[in-house]
Amino acid sequence: MDITEVRIKLMDDPQDRLQAFCSVTFDKSFVIRDLKIIQGSKGSFVAMPSRKLTDRCPKCHNKNHLRAMFCNQCGVRLDDERAVKNVDGRAKLYADIAHPINSACRELIQQKVIENFKEELIRSENPGYHCSYDDYGEEEYAALKIHHDDEETSTNSNNSPEKTHRLDQAEEKSVPQNHSGNQPDSVRETASKQENSGSGDDFGSGLD
Classify 78 as helix, strand or coil.
Answer: coil
Q: For 129-185, how does the pLDDT look when each residue is reduced to its tens digit (9 = 90+)?
A: 888 887 766 667 778 888 766 666 655 556 655 555 555 554 444 444 544 444 545
Q: Do 3 and 88 belong to one domain?
A: no
Give yes or no for residue 65 having a pLDDT over 60: yes
Is residue 208 over pLDDT 70? no
Residue pLDDT, tens place only, 43-62? 999 999 999 999 999 999 99
Task: Report the pLDDT value the prediction gives residue 87, as an integer from 0 to 100.
Answer: 85
Same domain, 65 and 84: yes
* 177-196 tens-digit pLDDT: 544 444 545 444 444 444 44
Q: What is the pLDDT of residues 93-138, one digit of tens each?
A: 999 999 999 999 999 999 999 999 999 999 999 998 888 887 766 6
Together in a domain, 89 and 103? no
| Same domain assignment for residues 13 and 87 | no
The pLDDT value recorded for residue 145 is 80
- What is the b/e burial string over 82-99, where b = at least 16 CB atoms within 10 angstroms of the residue's CB? ebeeeeeeeeeeeeeeee
Query: Does 68 lie in the same domain as 45?
Result: no
| φ, ψ for residue 18, nearest 5 deg | -80, 110
The number of domains in the chain is 2
pLDDT attached to residue 78: 94
> CB burial class (10 A; 0-12, 13-18, 19+) of residue 35?
buried
Domain contains 141: no
DSSP-assigned states of every residue in 81-137: T-SPB-TTS-B--EEESS--SSHHHHHHHHHHHHHHHHHHHHHTTSTT-------TT
pLDDT at 15 over 90: no
Q: Are residues 42 and 2 in the same domain?
A: yes
Work out the end-to-end distance of the chain between its first and last CA atoms, rounded to an integer number of angstroms: 120
Q: Has this prediction a pTM greater than 0.85?
A: no
